[in-house]
Amino acid sequence: MSKHAPIRIEFPRGVRVWLFAALLAAVAAAPCCAQANSSASPVVLDRAVAVVNKHVILASDLDDEIRLSILDTNNAPQHELTRQHALDQIISRTLIEQQVRQEDMPAIEPSPEEVNARLHEIRTELPVCARQDCASDAGWKAFLRAHGLTAERVEAYLRYRLEILRFIEQRFRQGIQISQPQIETYYRDTLLPEYTPGETVPPLDQVAPRIQEILLQQQVDLLFDNWLTNLRQQGDVELLDSELAPQTAPATETPSSSNARESGSQ
Amino acid sequence: MRSIEFQGVPADRLQPLAGQLPVAQGAPLTEENLKRSLRQLYATGLYDTIEARAARMGDGVALTFAGTPRTFIGTVSVEGAAGATMNMQLERSSQLEAGTRLTQAGTMRAVEQMRATLEQNGYYEPVIAQTVTPRLGQQLADISFHVVSGPRAKVGKVTVTGDSGVTVEEFRVHARLWKIAHVDHDTVNRALDGVLRAYQKQGRLEAEVKLESAAYDRAAKVVDYRFTANRGPVVRVEVHGASINPERVKHIIPIYLEGSVDEDLLTEGNRRLRDYYQSLGYFDARVAHERQSAGSGEVTILYTVQLGPRRRVEQVSIAGNHYFSTATLMDLLSVHPADVLDRHGLYSQALVSADVSALENVYRNNGFSQVKVSPETSTPETAADQPLADAQDSAVAAPKTTGAHTAPLKVVYRIAEGRQLQVGTLQLEGNDHISAAALTVLLNTTPGQPLSPRNLAGDHDALVTEYLSRGFEQVDVKLAQQPEPADPGKVDVAFHIDEGPQTFVRNVLLTGLEYTRPQTVTRAITVHAGDPLNQDALAATQSNLYGFGLFNEVNIAVVNPTGDAPQKTVLLQATEARRWTLSYGFGFEAQTGKPQNNCSGAFAAGVACNPNGKTGVSPRVLAGISRNDLFGREQSVSLRGTYGLLEQSIGIQYQVPHIEGNRNLGFTFSGGYANSEDVSTYVASRLEGAFRGTENFNHPGRWISRANTFIYEFDFRRVKVDASSLQVYPGEISALSTATRVGGPAFTWLRDTRDVPLDAHRGTYTSFQEFLSDRLFGAQAEFNRIDTSNSSYYSFDKNRFVVARNTRYGQIRAFGNGSSELIPLPERLYAGGPVSLRGFSQNAAGPRDPETGYQIGGAGSLINSTELRLPPPTLPWVGNTLSFVIFHDMGNVFTNAGDAWASILRVHQPYSAACRNAVVKDTSQYPTGYAPSGADPITSTGQQGPCSFNDFSHALGAGLRYHTPVGPIRFDFSYNLNPPIYPVNINYSIPTAPGSLIPGFATRPYLGQAPHINFFFSLGQAF
């Protein structure tokens, strides 16, 4: 698999960090299975397309991922998620989820209030949603219907997303120390050049807490990025659908023929 | 949904899943149920790919789950590779495990790994062909590799870069990279080790040698090596502040052993030096090291030792303990006070920490979760930071003390026990398939008992093991503890069990039986189709198959090990052992009193015989050939021969260790011919045959402990003593040299509870043997023999000391009339030697011939040995492999069994004056030799002389034991306090006295005496 595609998560205080689209795509309730053909010839309803450490990813999971991508605040509406990209996101998310279950970290499940707050944020701030008057219940229902989603599926998606974010916070944020010299360096080398000559520059003491938060988040991003890269390298990922294989995919296990065969090598 | 169908994987494999899938016939089809069903089916591990198809069927849908079935590895075999073990090496290096999934990538990887293994062994041009043969209906495929190794490469050019300090030719010599040498798997390692060793000899412990490349030259068939070598500086180690032998420094400081220098090893050197000085009583010793570069390629590691006062551990005590007695806790301590064997006692900070942990653990495991143990050590009387000891002491002497007096050390472990927690309630949750009653009996934790973490951990494991034994491969048991609100001294315990699915055995496939009949091993297989997949049964099956002795290797694999399939196939893959076995060996015994026979021959050679034998070595050569797997069954036939100075024998044995597969019943037929010379008095030949049945008690529900073994025998033998070898007075020679048949039933009972049979520390060993020789069974000598022995072992002081004792009692009661009442010489009881009464040489105890003084055996024996086995001290060169014993042996062999018990308290030989008087003073008055007087008794062991041997002989002794993996090598030295005397009027190995009518009549009869001093060199403990 290729390297995961990064996305940006909006934090309450406006700090943007790069995370992964896999975390933000969600499983939306889809209408029941593809309609069976009226003729007697069978149609494929669903199939396995990949396996991540024994967890099967189905073709319908990719459909869900693409449908839920509408809720991603960082996805431009004109750029529809490809199936390869959707699979990449699901693989990353599955690896993270397996790690969450394995580490069994306590108290990362978000409360209903937190989930509702996030839902409210999406209904009021997501541009594509705002245009369809998602703030009203009727508009929200119409929006969901138009995108093949259900309220339950969206809520589950938000809860899961918050859970992952909290896991990342607990897993990586603790133990990171930002020193005063680091803050000063960022102020001098990064912030000050942003201001044009003559513009009023805020004093260091005023922006120091904000700089500390930015540096902290950068560290979290870096650690998380490395961690996820390792997970992907160490995990057992098998592609069952060769059409979904990215160009740069590493060699993966493919089933062998059960027929007798002979081969020689020299 | 109107119908559900499966394609790809046989329906019978998925049949157990019926009713467990979320989709069901007649129920609505939902996306969620379809997804879960697909996932569940894929998780069985039976599919490589899977999809769900639907077709309209009336007013509903016909659903089909279709996919590619997964193939698993059956057997993996490699043949054709050059080298004795190369095929097996390649099989292992392929890393293709039976039962696991077969993938193209896996087989390609296997070929590459096999190729790499071949290259390591010098084969750079191999041809590897693979054949994959599927097993129909099993989703299995057997993989066989045919290997043509090709030419074997030789060592080619060697290039060395870096600051090696040697020429390439010198490098080659150190690395043993000769141009004519073939490359093998050890070539590179040997080269690296050799060069590093050469650098280490120069003291260059920081030298680095690396292999940069090994390139094969296909045209020249050689491997060209390129190394990087940096010799580094010469490293010297100096110890300041205390004296120490330089050789000892090399043993203590690990940089010499490891051949490298890093901070971890140097710090480890600190600790070892400190431990060394602490073992000498410098308990406050402190060690630091410093690295000093002296320029010009030299580095000095300077260890500075601050010894402090030399002290002895005067007292170790425990305070504050209420729940456990002091004696119980003291047994847990490693720190101990000085005693006779240890002048300084044992103390170090590490040992104190270990003691604290041991004490806290024992309390915690009894519910005292808040226990706190605080060690208190008395401060030294002299200041710890005294000037360093004089470093000018002699090199080998222990460091001198810093003060005139050693300061005693007192260690007190103060225990604050805290509150003892008890188990409140005990609950099991989630056990749907096994009743709580069945599980509760497995638990050590019970309500009201102290809360023990160790018990809880053990109970957790017991529950998991129980579920695994019933096929619940994914069982998960979690332990929850909750303090009772009403009683803080109690904790409620709950085991939450997530059973997971139960897996059953689909079928059992046994492979690898080329010669062995399947029926032979059927009873050993305790897993059967339909049974829960029981891990214990798998292990038992493997053990049972190994127990046949027919197989070199038995592998058990479960097909699809990671899948959730409800039924799994078990693969039993056996590799048969060679059926023909040739064995040979050599051994010897060295001792005083080695039996000396053929005295007439000795006379011709000018060597005189002596009733006490001679000091010498008895070598022994053994050889045998066996045929196992006879007729494809668990039975064998073997031919074995022994040739030694004490015995020459050849015998054949047919053995069925398990009759009809019964693990508790065995049968043996043996026959052969033997010459025995282990008694000085005669050379005996024995032609014999025996049937022997053995019964063990290993099955469940047995009526007697598994420590017992019963042996049922029927023995028949013809014993004969060579008349020319007999060292008895002439009147007895005819009767004693007559060939005699002995035969009848025998029964033996063995009971063995020893912990380690070769070197027991506890337990007992008892044997009881009854043999009846009767005319009814064709015997010519009629007698009943009982021979019983009991040993027991007691250890104390943490198993350091062992007291071992052994008592043997034997008796023979002859019956019948006339000649049948005379017990043949080889059938009598004897004692003396390394595994018997060590106050005598080999079989030299007991009654002796009235004229020759040679031992003639008896009809009763009573012997007791007591031995104190001391702990091995740490000694130079041998470490703690050498230990000492002191022993006391007493007893004797008696003419009559009844004499044994009456002689227990008798330490002087009775009627010794008569013994002395039996020595002929004037040979002219003794022209015809010994004539029995009416007073001399005739017994079942023949005519007795005036000498009596009815006393208990006592011997004290000491021994050395050199411990090896196959048991100790033994040297025993004994001193017999009261050896018997006996007359020697006839000696067949000296010229007959002029005018005498008796052959061998001594020109100078004398009074003989068994020697006081004996020694024995042998293998194994005495008992």
Instruction: For residues B37 and B44, give the distance between their C-alpha atoms in angstroms, rounded to a whole number.
Output: 11
Which candidate from A30, A51, A262 shows the least CB-CB separation from B129?
Answer: A262
Which long-range CB contacts under 8 A does B134-137 form with residues at least 24 apart? B134/A258, B134/A259, B134/A260, B134/B71, B135/B74, B137/B10
Which residues, in sequence order, are CB contacts of B180 under 8 Å at separation 6+?
B154, B155
Instruction: For residues A154 and A144, give the distance between their C-alpha atoms in angstroms, rounded to a whole number.
Output: 9
For B41-50, what is each residue's pLDDT tens digit? 999 999 999 9
More confidently predicted of B818 and B957? B957
In 10 A of CB B982, how many CB atoms? 27
Count of CA atoms in the C-beta half-sphere (13 A) of B686: 26
Instruction: For residues B302 and B292, give the distance between their C-alpha atoms in angstroms, rounded to a whole number.
Output: 7
Residue showing tokens 């101990």: B336
- The rounded radius of gyration (Å) of the Cα atoms in chain B is 39
For B630-668, what is each residue's pLDDT tens digit? 999 999 999 999 998 778 999 999 999 988 878 899 999
| Whole-number pLDDT of residue B847 | 93
DSSP B444-462: S--TTSB--HHHHHHHHHH
Question: Using the beta-carbon criterion (under 8 Å), do B61 and A259 form an inter-chain contact?
Answer: no
| Whole-number pLDDT of residue B977 | 96
A43 vs B: CB within 8 A: yes
Instruction: For residues B123 and B250, give the distance between their C-alpha atoms in angstroms, rounded to a whole number.
Output: 41
Which residues, in sequence order, are CB contacts of B313 under 8 Å at separation 6+?
B283, B335, B336, B337, B338, B344, B345, B346, B347, B408, B409, B410, B411
| Whole-number pLDDT of residue B404 | 44
For B122-143, what is each residue's pLDDT tens digit? 999 999 999 999 998 889 999 9
For B820-862, what is each residue's pLDDT tens digit? 788 999 999 999 999 999 999 889 999 998 888 889 999 999 9
Question: Using the beta-carbon criterion (under 8 Å), do B55 and A40 form an inter-chain contact?
Answer: yes
Which residues, in sequence order, are CB contacts of A201 under 8 Å at separation 6+?
A192, A195
Q: Name chain B contacts of A254, Cβ cutoff 8 Å.
A: 103-105
Q: Is B908 helix (H, G, I), strand (E, B) or coil?
A: coil
Which residues, in sequence order, are CB contacts of B159 under 8 Å at separation 6+?
B168, B224, B225, B226, B227
Residue showing tokens 């005036």: B946
A102 vs B: CB within 8 A: no
Q: Is the pLDDT of residue B396 over 60?
A: no
| Whole-number pLDDT of residue B592 | 65
For B242-284, what is each residue's pLDDT tens digit? 989 888 898 899 998 888 889 999 999 999 999 888 888 888 8
Q: Is the pLDDT of residue B392 over 50?
A: no
List, in sequence order, every beta strand (DSSP E) within B559-611. Answer: 567-576, 580-594
The percentage of chain B sitting over the pLDDT mark of 90, rounded to a whole number, equals 64
- Please compute the mean of the pLDDT values over residues B570-577 and round it to a whole number: 94
Residue among B690, B693, B747, B681 at smallest CA distance from B718: B690
Instruction: For residues A1 and A51, give the distance between their C-alpha atoms in angstroms, rounded to a whole number.
Output: 12
For B192-243, what is each residue's pLDDT tens digit? 999 999 998 898 998 999 999 999 999 999 999 999 999 999 999 999 999 8
Q: Is B220 helix (H, G, I), strand (E, B) or coil?
A: coil
Instruction: For residues B16 and B980, give the distance between their C-alpha atoms in angstroms, rounded to a whole number.
Output: 84
Give the amino acid at B184. Answer: D
| Whole-number pLDDT of residue A34 | 43
Give the amino acid at A247. Answer: Q
Task: Tell me the CA end-to-end span of chain B in Å, nearest whole number.
Answer: 79
Question: Using the beta-carbon criterion (under 8 Å), do A47 and B49 form an inter-chain contact?
Answer: yes
The pTM of the whole model exceeds 0.80: no
Task: Select the highest-mean-pLDDT range: A203-217, B248-262, B705-719, B986-1000.
Answer: B705-719
Which residues, in sequence order, are CB contacts of B505 under 8 Å at separation 6+?
B527, B528, B529, B530, B531, B532, B533, B567, B568, B569, B570
State which H helix or E strand residue B193 sits in: helix B187-201
Give the amino acid at B27. Answer: A
Average pLDDT, chain B: 88
Backbone angle region of B877, left / alpha / beta, with phi > 0 → left and psi within -120 to 50 → alpha: left
Which residues, in sequence order, are CB contacts of A128 under 8 Å at separation 6+?
A70, A77
More confidently predicted of B728 and B215? B215
Crossing angle between the packed helical segments A151-168 and A137-146, to the nearest 10 degrees: 90
Strand partners, B666: B694
Strand partners, B959: B885, B972
- Asked if A254 and B105 touch (Cβ cutoff 8 Å), the reply is yes
Q: Is the pLDDT of residue B311 over 50?
A: yes
Nearest chain B residue (CA) to A49? B49
Question: Using the beta-carbon criterion (under 8 Å), do A255 and B53 form an inter-chain contact?
Answer: no
| Whole-number pLDDT of residue B309 | 83
A101 vs B: CB within 8 A: no
Task: Select the highest-mean-pLDDT range: B80-84, B338-342, B729-733.
Answer: B80-84
More confidently predicted of B451 and B614? B451
Hey, which residues 119-138 in chain B have their CB within 8 Å of chain A?
Answer: 125-134
Output the CA–CA distances (angstroms, integers) from residue A49 to A63, B8, B40, in the order listed: 12, 17, 15
| Whole-number pLDDT of residue A16 | 29
Task: Tell me the CA end-to-end span of chain A in Å, nearest whole number.
Answer: 30
Which residues, in sequence order, are CB contacts of B463 under 8 Å at separation 6+?
B439, B442, B443, B475, B477, B495, B497
Nearest chain A residue (CA) to B69? A258
* Minimal C-alpha gap between A180 and chain B (Å): 33
Output the CA–CA distances (angstroms, integers) from residue A108 to A4, A5, A44, A164, in the order listed: 24, 25, 38, 8
A48 burial level (CB within 10 Å; 0-12, 13-18, 19+): buried
DSSP for residue B875: B
In 10 A of CB B136, how many CB atoms? 6
- Please compute the mean of the pLDDT values over residues B691-699 and round it to a whole number: 93
B55 vs A: CB within 8 A: yes
Instruction: For residues B67 and B586, give the distance between their C-alpha atoms in angstroms, rounded to a whole number.
Output: 65
For A6-58, what is each residue's pLDDT tens digit? 333 333 332 223 332 333 233 233 333 444 444 467 899 999 999 998 899 99
| Residue B999 pLDDT grade (very low, low, confident, very high; cuts 50, 70, 90) | low
Q: Name chain A contacts of B57, Cβ cutoff 8 Å.
A: 40
For A147-169, what is each residue's pLDDT tens digit? 888 889 899 888 888 888 888 88
Q: Name chain B contacts of A240, Cβ cutoff 8 Å.
A: 48-49
Question: Using the beta-carbon criterion (under 8 Å), do A56 and B42 form an inter-chain contact?
Answer: yes
Q: Where are the alpha helices (DSSP H) in B487-584?
A: 518-522, 535-547
| Residue B950 pLDDT grade (very low, low, confident, very high; cuts 50, 70, 90) | very high
* 3-state helix vs strand vs coil in chain A, percent to 5: 50, 10, 35
For B490-535, what is each residue's pLDDT tens digit? 999 999 999 988 999 999 999 999 999 999 898 889 999 999 999 8
Q: Is the pLDDT of residue B931 over 80?
A: no
Which candidate from A58, A259, A266 shows the least CB-CB separation from B127?
Answer: A266
Which candidate from B56, B70, B125 shows the least CB-CB separation from A40?
Answer: B56
Q: With b meaning 16 or more CB within 10 Å and e meaning fewer, what string describes B564-601?
A: bbbbbbbbbbbebeebeeeeeeeeebbbbbbbbbbbbe
Q: What are phi and psi of B454, to 5 degrees?
A: -65, -40
Strand partners, B974: B957, B1014
Q: Where are the alpha helices (DSSP H) in chain A?
A: 21-24, 59-68, 83-103, 112-125, 127-130, 137-146, 151-168, 180-186, 204-234
Instruction: For residues B354 and B359, give the distance between their C-alpha atoms in angstroms, rounded to a whole number.
Output: 9
Q: How far is CA B909 from the centre of its chain?
A: 44
- Please compute the mean of the pLDDT values over residues B310-316 and round it to a whole number: 88
- Asked if B538 and B505 touch (Cβ cutoff 8 Å), the reply is no
Q: Where are the domains of chain A?
A: 8-104+175-264
Q: What are phi and psi of B730, to 5 degrees?
A: -55, -30
| Whole-number pLDDT of residue B928 | 57
- Please compute the mean of the pLDDT values over residues B988-992 and round it to a whole number: 70
Q: Name chain A contacts of B129, Cβ cutoff 8 Å.
A: 262-265
- Asked if B659 and B667 touch (Cβ cutoff 8 Å), the reply is yes
Residue showing tokens 């080269």: B191
Output the CA–CA distances (angstroms, integers) from residue B239 to B232, B249, B252, in the order listed: 22, 8, 12
Which residues, in sequence order, are CB contacts of A107 under 8 Å at separation 6+?
none
B140 vs A: CB within 8 A: no
Instruction: For residues B86 and B121, give the distance between their C-alpha atoms in angstroms, rounded to a whole number.
Output: 9
Q: With b meaning 16 or more CB within 10 Å and e meaning fewer, what string describes A77-96?
A: eeeebebbbbbbbbbbbbbb
State which H helix or E strand residue B168 sits in: helix B168-175
| Residue B696 pLDDT grade (very low, low, confident, very high; cuts 50, 70, 90) | very high
| Whole-number pLDDT of residue B945 | 84
Nearest chain A residue (CA) to B132? A260
Question: Using the beta-carbon criterion (under 8 Å), do A254 and B104 form an inter-chain contact?
Answer: yes
Q: Name chain B contacts of A42, Cβ cutoff 8 Å.
A: 53-55, 62, 64
Question: Which of A38, A44, A46 should one mutate to test binding to chain B, selecting the residue with the greatest count of B CBs within 10 A?
Answer: A46
| Whole-number pLDDT of residue B591 | 63
- Please compute the mean of the pLDDT values over residues B357-379 and round it to a whole number: 92
| Whole-number pLDDT of residue A21 | 31
Token reading at B831: 């004692």
- The rounded radius of gyration (Å) of the Cα atoms in chain A is 22
Rounded to two decimals, the ipTM of the complex is: 0.73
* Minimal C-alpha gap between B65 and chain A (Å): 9
- Please compute the mean of the pLDDT values over residues B111-116 and round it to a whole number: 96
For A213-259, what is each residue's pLDDT tens digit? 899 989 988 998 899 899 988 888 999 988 888 755 444 444 443 33
For A63-79, what is each residue's pLDDT tens digit? 988 888 888 766 555 56
| Whole-number pLDDT of residue B599 | 59
- Please compute the mean of the pLDDT values over residues B327-341 and round it to a whole number: 86
State which H helix or E strand residue B331 sits in: none
Residue among B307, B193, B190, B315 at smallest CA distance from B241: B307
Question: Using the beta-carbon criterion (under 8 Å), do A58 and B43 form an inter-chain contact?
Answer: no
For B419-463, what is each residue's pLDDT tens digit? 999 999 999 999 999 999 999 999 999 999 999 999 999 999 999
B950 vs A: CB within 8 A: no
